[in-house]
Amino acid sequence: MSLTPAGLIRFLSSVHPYDSLESGVLADLAPQFEVLDFPSQSQIYQLQDPLMGLYLVYSGEVEVLDENGMAVSILGPRNSFGERGLIRDGLAVTSARATEDCLLLLLPKEGFFSLMAAQRSVARFFDRRRPEPAQYSGLTTTRAADFMAKDPVTCSTGLTCQSAAQLMRQHHISCLCVTEDAGLQGILTTRDLTEKLLAEGLPFSTPVSKVMTQAPITLPPSALGSDVLHAMMEHHIGHVPITQGKEIVGIVTQTDLTRFQAVNSAELVSRVARASSASEMALATAEIPQLLVQLVAAGNRHEVVTRLITDIADAATRRLLTLAEEALGAPPVPYLWLACGSQGRQEQTGVSDQDNCLILDDRYAADHEAYFKALADFVCDGLNTCGYVFCPGDMMASNPRWRQRLSVWRGYFEGWIRKPGPEAQMLASVMFDLRPIGGDKSLFEGLQAEVLALAGANSIFTAHMASNALKHTPPLGLLRGFATIRSGEHRNTLDLKHNGVVPVTDLARIYALQTGITAANTRARLEAGAELGAISPSGAQDLLDAYDLIQQTRLEHQATLVRRGEAPDNYLSPSSLSDFERSHLRDAFVVVKTMQSALGHGKGMLS
């Protein structure tokens, strides 16, 4: 494909930092760019290759990989790459390949350095984008609120596309957030304008509502940078609006993420999201134990490690849902796939089974059963292939009991709350950790609000749930020792899951029920419980510290097993710990036991 000089200038004038150049400078610069075609899956350059210059994506998609072959980012039109190597020593510090047919513009390195020397705005831009290696690890601990563009430019649904384009040019941005009544309705990007307006020959007076991407993927300000990158890679998008409730508070673009890297988890998410079968997906998920080792060795906190690992399970579930729909056709009525258990709480480790369910729209009819049975079996079988083994208790969407209409689910929860017998307590404990994964999320939003209100208003139910939460006790023995497992395969070990993590998870769930907290994550529930008065600040901090130590010990134990070539598990021998480690772990169990005792005596707080 050839570009006319005028077309090239128009394109450059829409790309930052070239849009800051005077028209004469831009006219002199444009002829220096070479136009290069790269077919899909072709290599643009390899690590340590001499770089010919700065690359700019005109069309298509490019994947940039670090020295370990891990994805740094996926770049679309108007994104540059290669400048880090040019600025450093002229050799590529990454590799790049086309994941779609690409048209690239290459500014030779002599022209690049001349432009940097002559134009301060260009030098500032590329110096700002140049990351140091240590910065990449920050993606796993940095929240979106810390690097998003705040107060994004917005427009109404009725604005014309021409006016929207002028607004983007005025603010030197590549997207607009489209709002109505203070709520986010969609997002309009430069790619939307070229592919939906210009390519289709629509009039410039077309309202943005006809061209925008409706109901875009959004994340909250508390999302990790890795969550943003994973969403971009899974859904092949370059812009993620950041919302607080229904309010748009920021935007994150691909450019914002070029200086970050999400360790190896982003690469696994990308591979899972592109897999054509469960067996292909399993090649990626098989690397999760090694990912666990790397994340723990890098000093990441447990909530970061488990979030990243859970992201892979989420991506696998959504990809399997997509593959199921491709095989079975469009669903006859809307549905929502939800995860519970550790995936629901975003707390998966190196060993996890699957716990999930399906909520079906109330328009579901008997003749739809064959479709949803096939879909549930397809996804559950696929997850099992990927290493997320079938739930021993059969709490999966493949079980008809957990594949029901919304009205039936409403009846389930109402029944458990009205008559909280032993089975009801057990089921409610699992199902109160539900988190939507794929499908129509509106099927859960109203149900969750109703159920939390019902539970919070029923003191008998919460008392029964509190009693159920005391069944898992920390492994404390006499004389400052541990109560280890007495017989069987895991004799003389501590079960760090059922006697360590689960008691804290149960306590956090009770605090959530008492105060109507919607979060499923244990740490988020404890923090919110302290804020809302379900637990005192000092009690919450003690319990958080205890939980952190138990979870970190659990992950380090699993990483040690993987390094030995063994399968990760939750059974720790106290003899493998130093005296210092044993003392602190026992102190953590004492805190948990004390909090359980306070709950058992009807005390909502520990002062």
| Mean predicted lDDT score pLDDT of the chain | 88
pLDDT band at 434 (very low <50, low <70, confident <90, very high): very high
Measured over the CA atoms of residue 506, residue 511, residue 513 and residue 516, the dihedral's sign is negative
Q: In whole angstroms, what is the distance from residue 345 CA to residue 502 CA? A: 12
Residue of 460, 500, 469 whose CA lies nearest to 484? 500
Q: Which CATH number is correct for 5-130, 3.40.50.720, 3.40.50.1000, 3.40.50.970, 2.60.120.10?
A: 2.60.120.10
Quote the tokens at residue 208. 């943005």
pLDDT in tens, 505-541: 999 999 998 888 888 999 999 988 888 888 888 888 8
pLDDT at residue 497 greater than cutoff 50: yes
pLDDT in tens, 342-363: 999 999 998 889 999 999 999 9
Q: Does domain 265-454 have CATH number 3.30.460.10?
A: yes
Q: In whole angstroms, what is the distance from residue 561 CA to residue 569 CA? A: 8
Measured over the CA atoms of residue 276, residue 435, residue 360 and residue 383, the dihedral's sign is positive
Q: What is the pLDDT of residue 135?
A: 34
pLDDT band at 83 (very low <50, low <70, confident <90, very high): confident
Instruction: Name the phi and psi angles at 459, rounded to 5.
Output: -65, -30
pLDDT at residue 133 greater than cutoff 60: no
Average pLDDT (388-409) is: 96
Residue showing tokens 């109404």: 156
Per mean pLDDT, which range of 192-196, 285-289, 300-304, 378-382 is the poorest? 300-304
Q: In whole angstroms, what is the distance from residue 58 CA to residue 104 CA? A: 5
Residues linked to residue 177 through DSSP beta bridges, in sequence order? 154, 187
Q: In whole angstroms, what is the distance from residue 354 CA to residue 486 CA? A: 28
Q: What is the pLDDT of residue 574?
A: 93
Q: What is the pLDDT of residue 605?
A: 38
Type of residue numbered 522: T
Q: What is the pLDDT of residue 262?
A: 40
Helices (H), 181-331: 190-192, 225-235, 254-257, 265-274, 278-285, 288-297, 302-328
Average pLDDT (409-413) is: 95
Average pLDDT (255-270) is: 64
Residues linked to residue 514 through DSSP beta bridges, in sequence order? none
CATH architecture entry for 470-600: Up-down Bundle (1.20)
Q: Which residues contact 284 (CB under 8 A, 6 or more apart)?
A: 268, 271, 272, 275, 312
Domain residue extents for the chain = 5-130, 144-257, 265-454, 470-600
Measured over the CA atoms of residue 25, residue 28, residue 30 and residue 35, the dihedral's sign is negative
pLDDT in tens, 101-132: 999 999 999 999 899 888 877 876 775 444 33
Residue showing tokens 């689910």: 409
Q: In whole angstroms, what is the distance from residue 280 CA to residue 285 CA? A: 9
Instruction: Name the phi and psi angles at 43, rounded to 5.
Output: -85, 130
Q: Which residues contact 177 (CB under 8 A, 6 or more apart)?
A: 152, 153, 154, 155, 184, 187, 241, 248, 251
Quote the tokens at residue 107. 């500014």
Q: Of the ranges 3-7, 251-255, 363-367, which is most confident?
A: 363-367
pLDDT at residue 476 greater than cutoff 50: yes
Q: What is the pLDDT of residue 193?
A: 94
pLDDT band at 480 (very low <50, low <70, confident <90, very high): low
pLDDT in tens, 42-56: 999 998 899 999 999
pLDDT in tens, 242-254: 998 888 999 998 7
Average pLDDT (395-404) is: 97
Percentage of residues in the chain with pLDDT exceeding 70?
Answer: 92
300 vs 162: which has the higher pLDDT = 162
Could you please report the per-residue DSSP string of 571-591?
EE-GGGS-HHHHHHHHHHHHH
Strand pairing report for 356-360 and 403-405: parallel
Burial class (CB in 10 A: 0-12, 13-18, 19+), 171: exposed
Q: What is the pLDDT of residue 349?
A: 94
Average pLDDT (41-70) is: 86
pLDDT in tens, 165-217: 999 999 888 899 999 887 899 999 998 999 899 989 999 999 999 999 998 99
Rounded (10°) CA dihedral 108, 112, 115, 121: 140
Quote the tokens at residue 230. 């994973």
pLDDT band at 478 (very low <50, low <70, confident <90, very high): low
Q: Which 3 state secondary structure label does DSSP give 201?
A: coil
Q: How far is CA 268 from CA 59, 418, 597, in A?
A: 25, 44, 43
pLDDT in tens, 139-178: 666 678 877 888 899 999 999 999 999 999 998 888 999 9
Residues linked to residue 251 through DSSP beta bridges, in sequence order? 149, 241
CATH architecture entry for 144-257: Roll (3.10)
DSSP state of 277: S
pLDDT at residue 453 greater than cutoff 80: yes
Q: Of the ranges 17-21, 25-29, 159-163, 576-580, which is most confident?
A: 159-163
Percentage of residues in the chain with pLDDT exceeding 90?
Answer: 54
DSSP state of 390: P
Quote the tokens at residue 96. 């790049």
Q: Which 3 state secondary structure label does DSSP give 500?
A: helix
Q: What is the pLDDT of residue 169?
A: 92
